[in-house]
Amino acid sequence: MEIRIGIANTGRELSFDTNEAAADVKKAVAAALDAAATHVTLADSKGNSYIVPTAGIAYVEIGTEESRRVGFVA
């Protein structure tokens, strides 16, 4: 599933794929924002970790968990 995080005051965004469930990502980000934590840590599907300061988060877009279909649909 793809995660896209918009960073405040910049035109760029952080985008990566993760193996975590959408509910787990949503829960981690919401918990960090509710607890006024200074950062949230997320991991991608390749094992890389991302530490994102919560003060800089403009938005978080969580993709769907369905796999892409290959081929033609009649």
Q: What is the pLDDT of residues 1-18, one digit of tens each?
A: 899 999 999 888 999 999
Average pLDDT, the chain: 88
Mean pLDDT of 20-27: 91
Question: Beta strand pairing status for 13-17 and 2-7?
Answer: antiparallel
Give me the count of residues in the chain.
74
What letter would DSSP give residue 17? Answer: E
Q: What is the pLDDT of residue 67?
A: 63
Q: How far apart are CA 1 and CA 62, in angstroms?
A: 8
Provide the CB-side half-sphere exposure for 39 (13 A, CA).
7
